[in-house]
Structure 1
Amino acid sequence: MKKTSLIALLALLSATANAQDNQADSASPEYIAPEITVSGKKGDLLQNVTGKESALLNPSQMSVYKVINMMPSISQQSVDPYGLADTVNYHEAFRFRGVEATAGSAPGTTANVEGLPVTGRPGGGATIYDLENFENIAVYSGVMPANIGLGIADVGGKIDMTIKRPEEKFGVTFKQSAGSHDFSRTFMRIDTGELGGGFKAFASGSTSYAEKWKGYGASNRNNLMFGVTEQFSDKLKLEAFATYSKGNIHPYKALSYDEIQDLDNAYDTDYGNDPTKYDYYGYNKNEFEDWMVMGNLEVKTGEQSKLNLKPYYWSDKGYYMESITGGKVRRWDIDHGLKGILAEYNTKLGKVDLDFGYLYHTQERPGPPTSWKNYTVSGSTLQLGGWAILSNTSSHELHEPFIEAKYRTGDWLLEGGVKYVNYTLPSILTYDTTGIGDVSYDDAVAADPAIVAAKSAESTKSFSRLFPDVTITRSIGDNSSVHLAYGENYVTHVDIYPYFISQYATFHAHNITFQQLWDERKMEISRNFELGLKMNGSNWSVSPTVYYAIHNNKQAIFQDPALGISYPMNNANATGYGFELEGEYKPSSKLKCYGSFSWNRFCFDENIHSETGALIDVKGNQAPDAPEFMAKGIVSYTIGEFTISPVVRYSSERYGDVQHQQKIDGATLCDLDLTWSKAMLGFRNVDCSLSFINLFDKKYVSLISTSDYKTLNSSYQPGAPFTVVASVAVHY
C-alpha cells in the first residue's frame, strides 16, 4: 500500500489512543458496536469470542465465507486476503464436511438472504453485500429443517444471512480501512431512526480497491444498499431492501501441479503484461453489475400466527474473459436474472409450532452457458476465432412447498418436516454460428440462426421428490442436551453441456444427441445422520458431533470406452462420515478461548473409469480438495479497551485428484488482531483495529480447481501472503 496512507492511518490510531487517556473519566455510556452473530446449527460458541462486526475473522468485510471459516468441518480457501478475487471455476472455494456444495456447475449458491436464494452463479453475486449490513449468519451443514436451505441446491449445507434492520434512533457509522497491496475500503451507513408512523430507513455505501499481491491488475467493487420498514399497525408491517453492486476483478492465474511444486516460483508466477501474448493480464478479467430487490409483507393473523410474503428479484450482467488452452482467449457474456416469491405461514396448534411455506423460483441461464466466443491474439489485439457456444435464453424453474413442526414435552423436543422439490431444468437450443461475426449476443440471436437439433435439448427434464427431516433432542439437566437427527438434501449438476459441445464430432459420429444426455441427468441425493451432544458449565461449553452421510447419483467424470471420450455423469455413490468438536472456555472476564476440531471423510464407494477409459482404484479415497483433519482456535484477551486476539488454523494434506497422485501438503496459518474500542469525542463508539493476516508469511497451496472443464485437469493457486490491514470505525 502507499506509505502515506498507512502512516496517516497509524497516526490516527495513535491519536485516538491518546484521546482515550484524556477522557478516561468520561461519563458517556459505552456503545457496543453492532455485531454479526454466527448461529444456527453451528457457531453459537464462536460468536461468544469473535470481535465487533466480525472484523477479527474478516477485516475487509467482503466475504461471508471468511467469517465462518473457523467453524468445524468448514474448509474455506483463499488466494486473495480481501475476498475480492477469490474464485475457482466461477465459484467460491468452500466445502461443508468435505462436500463442495456448488460443484458441477450447480447454478445455486450456498448463501441465502432472509431465507431467499437471491444470488446465483456463475456471475458477480459472491461479494455484492457489505457484511456491516447483516446481524446474523446462520450456518447449517448436513441435516437442516425443511424451511431452511430453500433454492436450487442444498447438498452439504446452507448459509442464511439476516439483514440488520434500520435502527430506532438516528445514527451514522463510518469506517475507513487501508492495508497491504494498496488496499483501501470506505464504508458508511446512515440510519434515519423513527420518523413517525412507524417508518424507518437506512442507506449504506462502500468502495473497495486492492491491487493483486503478485502480477498485474487490481480489483475494485462499489456497493450500495437501502432498506425501509413501515409498521402500519400491530398486525401489519412492510419491509423492502435493495442492493446495487459493480465489480471489476482481475483474478490470479491458475497453475498446474508441476508449477505449484516450486512454491517460491509459484508466488511470483502470474499473468504477464505483454498484450501480444494470450496470457496477458488484460485478457483475464471479469466485470459484473448486480441489482437485488426484495420485500417482506408481514401480517399477524392471530396472537400466535402470522403470514409473510417475500417477493424478490436479482439481475446480474457482465462477462468473464480468460486465457484457455490452445492459445485462445474466451469471452463469456452473462446476462441473467432470477425472481420468485416465498409465502410462509407460522402458527401454533396446541403445543405444536407449525411453519407452512411455498417457494416459487425461476432462474435464467447460465449455467449452462448461453454464449462463448473464442479469440486469437493478432499483434496486440484480439480477433474473433469463432463462437464456441451460442444458445437460447431459458430458465430453471422450482416449486418448493414445505412444512416444519416443533413439539416439546417435558425434556423432549421433537422437530420434523418435509419439503417437496419440483425442479425443471431449462431447455437448450444450440444455434449454428456459421457466418456470425464479432457481435453482441442479442445481435447474434437476432440474426435468426438455424437450430442444430443434435446439439439441443428442446424437451425439459424435471425432478420431483420429497425431502424429509427429523430431529429428536433430549435435555439432560439444565445445561446439557443430546440430539439425533436425519435429513435429506439435493443438488443437480448441469455442466454436461459444454462437455458435449466441445466433443460434438465424436458424439455425432455415434448418433448420440444432447437430448439423450440431458434426459439422463439425475438429482444427487444425500441422506444425512447426525448424533450430537451439547454441554455447558459455568465458564465453558463443548459440542461434540458425529455424522454419517450417503450420497447417491454423485457426479463423476465417466469415460465411455465405446466413444473414447469423457464427460460427467451422475453414476457414482459416495459416503461421508466424521467427527466434529467445538468448544469455548472463559476462565475470566478478560480471557475468552474458542476452538474447533473436525475429522471429515468423504470418498467414492466404488472404482470409476478414468479419462483414458481404464477402471481406476479410487474406492475409499478422500475426495479432492477435502482436508481430512482441521483444527482452529482463537484466544481473545482484553485489557481495558484493548483486545489482542491471536488466531491459528490447521488444515491437513489434500489431493488435487481422486487417484491421490497430486498431493498438497497441509498448512498451519496464524493471524493476529489488535483492537481498541472506546466511547469518546462525542461519538457513541470509536473502534480501531490492526490485523495481521498470515502473520508468519507461510507459503502454501490454497485454491484447487478439480472440476475445471476449461482443461479437464486440476489447477492450483498459492495462498495469500502476509497482509496488514488497519481500520478506524466511528459510530455516531
Structure 2
Amino acid sequence: MKDLAPAPSPSTLLALLISGLFAAPLHAQETTLDTVHVEAQPLPDEWPGPDRSVPRTLFQVGPEGMALFDSPGGSNPITAVAELPGVKVTTVDAYGLNNTQGGQKGIRVRGEVSSHGVSGTVEGLALGGPGPGPGYLFLFDKENVAAVTLEQGAIGADSGGLFSSYGALNTQLRWARDEARREISMGVGSDGFQRYFARIDTGTLSSGTALFVSASRTQADKWRGYGDAPEGRDNLEVGLNQALGAFKLKMIYARNDQAQHNYKTLNYEQARNLDQYRDEDYSRDRSSNDYYGYNRQDFRNQALVAELSYDFSPTTRLVLKPFWAQEEGYYLFAGSQPNQVLKWITDHETYGASTELQTVLADTRIKLGYSWTSTEPPGPPTNRKQYKITGNGLQFAQWAMLSDVTERHEFEHYYLTGQRRFDRLTLQGGLRYAREKLPGIDAYNVGTATAGTSWDVSADQALEQASRNDSRSVSARSFGHWLPQLGAAYEFTPALSVFANLGRNIGAPSLGVFNQAPAGSYKTSQDYWDDIRPELSTSLDLGTRLRLGDFTLDPTLYYSRSRNKTVNVYSEDSKSVWSQNVGRTAGKGLLLAAAWTPSETLRVFGSFSYTRAWFTEDVRGNGGKALGVQGNQLPDVPRTMASLGAAWKTHGVTLAPVLQYVGSRWSTVDYREKVPSYVTVDLNLGYGQKTAWGTWDASLALLNAFDRKYIGQISTSEVNTTANGSIYYPGAPRTLAAKLAFTF
C-alpha cells in the first residue's frame, strides 16, 4: 500500500525562514498606493461580532479575536467563529486539527450543516467542491489570515461560495505587507502538542514588489487512544504583491501536508456513559480492523490564489481572481467485516476564476460579476480499495469501488448588486443566477472481477483493465436557479437603526445517490441521478442595532423555509431507503450579539441564540413505515446556545476568559436519543512587551478548564432510518497550551 510522497521535514520547511529571521534588515521603501473607493472597507472590529456596514446579518472575527478566544491549533477557520450567535462548532480535539472523515466538519449555523464538506471560501473563492477530504481547512496558518467572516440568513448575491443554505464562511488572507517584518513563534501543550511558525516580509521594495514566505510545523498525540493527530502538519506559504500604477497583482501559494490517526466514534449507549467510555478508541490489535493503524488518513492540499485588479478611476475597478487547488490522499478505515479494511482514495483538482466590475453610478455602489468553478469527484465517492488482514498486515483483496470521471463538476454564477444610501435609508440588493452541472461518471465492475495482486495498482491503471458497468454509470446534467436578495436599513438616530433582509439560498444536491444500487422501478443509477436537485431556502431577517455609549446590542429575528433538503427516507419507486432531495423544513429564531467596554482596560462580549428548526411534513422510513416527524426539531440542533467572553488588559498583562453553553439536543428525528446540555470554560493568560529589538508575547491557554465531560460533534443525517443511526464524538478534556511569539 503506497502512501503519499513523504512530507517535507520541519527543517526543510523552516530553514529559509530561520536563517533569515536574524539577518540584516531587509531594505524596503514605503510606497503610497492609489485608493479606490469601491473597495470593501476594513472590518470595524477584530473581536467576534456583527459588521454593521451592510443591511444583512454578517459577522466577523479578526486576528485579535482569534488570538484571545480561538483554539491554539493555528489553522482551522471554523473554530474562529465558535463564539458567534447561531453557530455551533464542535471539534473532535481541543486544537481544531482533526479532520473528520466525510462531509460534516463540525459546524452548524442556525441548525443547518454545511453541504458535503463545502465549508467555505478563501477570498470568496471555493478552493474545492463537494468532497470528503480536509479541503482548505488546514491550508492557511492563522498568522496569515486577516479575518474570518460568516454571513447568515439571505446571503448577498456577491458573496462567494458554491452553496449558501447554511451561510457563507469566508477567509480573508493577509497578503504581503507594505512594511518589512519578521515573526517567529513556538507553542507546546497537552498531549504532545508542538507548533512552530515563522514568517518573513520584505516590505514594499522600490520596484513596487512585496514578498513574504512562511512555514509551520505542527504535531500532537491523540487525546484518547493511540496514534497522532496530526502526525505532522507541514505548511508552506509564499506570497507576492506587485504594483504597476493602476494595475496591481497579488498572489499566494499554499501547501499543506497532514497525516493523522482517526478518532473512534461512540454509539448512543456509550455516549450516555462518558465516565466509562470517554477514552474509548481504536485498539492495538493488528489482527482486527479495530487496530488504530488501520484507521488513519494522509492528505496533501495545495492552492494558488491570485488577484489582479485595474483601477480605471477612483470609483471604478475591475478585479480578476483565478485559482488552482489540488487535493490528494486517502482515508483508511474499518470495513463491514472484522478482517476487512477499506482505502478511500482522493485525487482531484479544482480550478476556476471570478471577475467583478466595481463602480459607482448615481451614488449607487454597483458590482457586476461572474464566477466559474470546475472540480471533480470524489464527492460522490469514486474509488475505494479493499484489503484483508493477514499476519503480515494488510493484503490487497479487490476494488470495492472504481469509477472514471468523464465530465467535471462545474458551477457558474452570474450576479449584479447595488447599494445606495438615501439620507437615513440604505438599500442594498442583488440577483444571482446559479448554474450547476453535475459530473458524468463511468462506473466499472468491481468485487471478484478485480481481485488478485495484478489489480493492486493505481486507479488509472485499474481502469485500463476493468469493464464498464452501464447500469451504474451516469451522464452529466445541468440545472440553474435565480437567487434574489434585498436588504434595507433605516437609521432613526446615530444610536438606533433597524434592518430587514430577504432572499433565497441554495444547497447541495444529494450526490450520494451515485452509489445507490438500482432497486424497484429504478433500473440504473441514472434514474437516481435524474431525480436529484439542489436544496432551496428562503430567509427573512429583521434586526435592530443599538449603541448606548460603550454598550452595543444587536438582536435579530429570523424565519426561513426550505425544500429539497437531503433526507434518507423510503421511496415508493425504489422500495428502499435512500438519500433524496425531498425534505421540507422551516426555521425561526433569535440571535443576540452584545458588547460592552466599561473602561480602557476591560471589554466584554456575549451572544445568545434560540433556534427552532423543524420538519414541516412527515416522511417514511424502512419498509415504508410512516415517521411522525412533522414539527420535530432537526437532529443535532440545540434550541439555546450562549457565549460570554471578556478581556482585561493592564501593564502588558491580558486575562481573557470565555464561557460557552450548548443546550440539550436530539440526535434522532424521532426523539429516541437525546444528548444533554453542557458548559465549557476556557481561559487565556497573556503577557507582552515592546523592546528595542521588537515585540514579544507569551500566552497560556487553559481549555475546558473544569474538565467537563460532554458530547460535542454528532454525525447524523437529517433523517436517518438505517441501522447505523447516529455516531458521537466526546469533547476534548482539560487542555493546557503555551505559546511564545516574537515580532521584529
* TM-score in same-fold range (> 0.5): yes
**Residue aligning to 2:440:** 427
2:479 to 436, 440, 463: 463
Cα separation, 2, equivalents of 1:710 and 1:212: 30
**Residue aligning to 1:6:** none
SS at match of 1:587: strand
Cα separation, 2, equivalents of 1:383 and 1:63: 35
**Residue aligning to 1:168:** 178
Number of residues paired by the alignment? Answer: 683
1:117 and 1:562, CA in 2 relative to 1: closer, same or farther beyond 3 A?
closer
Cα separation, 1, equivalents of 2:501 and 2:473: 43
**Residue aligning to 1:26:** none
Amino acid at match of 1:443: Q
1:382 and 2:385 correspond: no
Cα separation, 2, equivalents of 1:619 and 1:53: 40
1:474 and 2:486 correspond: no
1:657 and 2:668 correspond: yes
SS at match of 2:491: strand
1:362 and 1:37, CA in 2 relative to 1: closer, same or farther beyond 3 A?
farther
More deviation in 176-185 or 581-590?
581-590
Counterparts of 1:272-671 in structure 2 under 5 Å? 272-327=283-338, 328-393=340-405, 394-433=407-446, 434-435=449-450, 437-447=455-465, 449-458=466-475, 460-497=476-513, 499-500=515-516, 503-504=517-518, 507=519, 510=521, 512-560=523-571, 563-671=574-682
More deviation in 409-418 or 368-377?
368-377
1:727 and 2:744 correspond: no
**Residue aligning to 2:25:** none
TM-score (norm 1): 0.90
Amino acid at match of 2:706: F
**Residue aligning to 2:123:** 114
Report if the CA contact (8 A) 1:45-1:582 is conserved: no
Report if the CA contact (8 A) 2:497-2:544 is conserved: yes
Cα separation, 2, equivalents of 1:546 and 1:511: 43
* Superposed CA offset, 1:79-98 (max 9, x none): 21111114153441101100
1:245 and 1:55, CA in 2 relative to 1: closer, same or farther beyond 3 A?
farther
More deviation in 612-621 or 68-77?
612-621
Counterparts of 1:183-262 in structure 2 under 5 Å? 183-218=193-228, 219=230, 220-233=232-245, 235-262=246-273
SS at match of 2:599: coil
Give how far 1:74 is off: 0.3
Cα separation, 2, equivalents of 1:652 and 1:499: 36
SS at match of 1:216: coil
* Superposed CA offset, 1:349-372 (max 9, x none): 111110010001101111011111
Report if the CA contact (8 A) 1:300-1:306 is conserved: yes
* Superposed CA offset, 1:552-582 (max 9, x none): 1111112135654210111121001100111
Amino acid at match of 1:663: K
1:51 and 1:492, CA in 2 relative to 1: closer, same or farther beyond 3 A?
closer
Cα separation, 2, equivalents of 1:709 and 1:93: 22
1:498 and 1:215, CA in 2 relative to 1: closer, same or farther beyond 3 A?
farther
Give how far 1:381 is off: 1.9
SS at match of 2:471: helix
1:155 and 2:165 correspond: yes
Give how far 1:383 is off: 2.9
Report if the CA contact (8 A) 1:53-1:132 is conserved: no
Give how far 1:587 is off: 1.2
* Superposed CA offset, 1:632-673 (max 9, x none): 000211221111111100000112111111100010011111
Give how far 1:154 is off: 1.3
Cα separation, 1, equivalents of 2:212 and 2:176: 5
Amino acid at match of 1:666: S
The gaps in structure 2 that reach 5 residues or longer are: 1-44
Report if the CA contact (8 A) 1:54-1:67 is conserved: no
Greater relative CO, 1 or 2 (CA 8 Å, sep 6+): 1
**Residue aligning to 2:711:** 701
Cα separation, 1, equivalents of 2:66 and 2:555: 27
The gaps in structure 1 that reach 5 residues or longer are: 1-34
**Residue aligning to 1:180:** 190
Q: What do you get for the CA RMSD once the two structures are aligned?
A: 2.0
**Residue aligning to 1:21:** none
**Residue aligning to 1:25:** none
1:63 and 1:46, CA in 2 relative to 1: closer, same or farther beyond 3 A?
closer
2:727 to 684, 704, 715: 715
Report if the CA contact (8 A) 1:402-1:418 is conserved: yes
Report if the CA contact (8 A) 2:355-2:370 is conserved: yes
Cα separation, 2, equivalents of 1:333 and 1:572: 31
Cα separation, 2, equivalents of 1:658 and 1:710: 12
User: What percent of counterpart residues are identical?
Assistant: 29
Cα separation, 1, equivalents of 2:646 and 2:549: 18
Cα separation, 2, equivalents of 1:88 and 1:705: 10
Report if the CA contact (8 A) 2:496-2:544 is conserved: yes
1:631 and 1:470, CA in 2 relative to 1: closer, same or farther beyond 3 A?
same
Report if the CA contact (8 A) 2:60-2:150 is conserved: no
Give how far 1:493 is off: 2.6
Cα separation, 2, equivalents of 1:133 and 1:719: 28
Amino acid at match of 1:97: R
Cα separation, 1, equivalents of 2:171 and 2:723: 35
1:683 and 1:620, CA in 2 relative to 1: closer, same or farther beyond 3 A?
farther
**Residue aligning to 1:263:** 274
Give how far 1:46 is off: 6.6
TM-score (norm 2): 0.89
Report if the CA contact (8 A) 1:36-1:137 is conserved: no
**Residue aligning to 2:24:** none
